[in-house]
Amino acid sequence: MKTFPGPEFSTYGHLLSRVQALALALIVVLALAPAAEARALRVVALGDSLTAGYGLPAGQSFADALQSALKAMGFDVEIVNAGVSGDTVAGGLSRFDWSVPEGTDALIVELGANDMLRGFDPARTEASLAQILERARARHLPTLIAGMRAAPNLGPDYQRRFDAIYPDLAQRYGVTLYPFFLEGVAGDPKLNQPDGLHPTREGVARIVAAMLPTVERFLATVQQ
C-alpha cells in the first residue's frame, strides 16, 4: 500500500530547508564581506619643542619624520605629536591625561631640556618624570624614554646629577631608554637652527636615523 508523509515529516523538512538556506546565505555574506583592517599602532610622543618641531615647516617635526621612517620600514604606525614648545617635565605631567588619550598603544617621552636650561634642581625633574612613568605604568603603556644631558657650563655636580636621571628611571621602571635625544646633533651648527638649540630638518633626520634601531626594538614589544 502506498503511504504519504505525515504532517510531522513535512514540518521537519520545511525547517531543514530553511536552516540550509540561512546557512548558505551566511556563507555568501561572509565570503563577500571585506576583511577587517587592522588599526595602526598609535604612539604618542610626549615632549617639548624638540618633539613639536619648533622653527620647522609643518610636517617636518620629529614625530612626522619618525612616522615616515617607520612606515618606510613596514610599520603600520601613527606617531601622535604631543610636543609643546617651552614645556618642562612638570608641564608634560600636568597635561598627561589629555595628551595621552585612551586608545594610545605606546608612549615616547622626550622632556627635560627646558628644566636643564632653567637650572631646575635635578631632583625636581626626576620626581616629575617618575610620576609620568607611574601614570604610564598604571595604564599598562609600553614606554620609551629619551634622555637629555646637561650643558657643561652648569658645572660637573649638576651635570652628574641631571645626566643620571634617565638611566636611573629607565632601570627603576623597566622602560626602554634612548640615552641622549640629541646624539650627533647637539653642538653642530650645521644641524641646528641659528639659536643653537633646535635642530634643522637635517638635524631631525639625523636624530631619527640614530633612534630608529631603538624604536624598532621597542615597537616589536608593543601589543595592541
Rounded to whole angstroms, the Cα distance separating 21 from 18 reads 5
Mean pLDDT of 118-144: 98
Residue 92's CB is within 10 A of a number of other CB atoms, namely 27
Higher pLDDT: 29 or 83? It is: 83
> Running DSSP on this structure, what letter comes out for residue 38?
P
Catalytic pick among 48, 64, 105, 198: 198
pLDDT value of residue 16: 52
pTM of structure = 0.83
Model confidence at 36: pLDDT above 60: no
Query: Which among 69, 39, 99, 79 is positioned nearest to 223, based on CA atoms?
Result: 39
Domains in the chain, please, with CATH?
Answer: 41-220 (3.40.50.1110)
Paired residues of 201 in beta bridges: none
How many other CB atoms sit within 10 Å of the CB of residue 73? 12
Please state, in angstroms and rounded to a whole number, the distance separating the CA atoms of residues 203 and 47: 17
pLDDT the model gives residue 39: 79
DSSP helix/strand/coil, 187: coil
157 is annotated as an active-site residue: no
From the list 49, 61, 99, 128, the catalytic residue is 49
- Whether residue 108 contacts residue 93, with contact meaning beta carbons closer than 8 Å, is answered with no
Whole-angstrom distance, CA of residue 96 vs CA of residue 109:
11
Residue 121 among the catalytic residues = no
Q: What is the pLDDT of residue 111?
A: 98
Cα–Cα dist 215/138, whole Å = 22
pLDDT in tens, 76-106: 999 999 999 999 999 999 999 999 999 999 9
Catalytic: 198?
A: yes
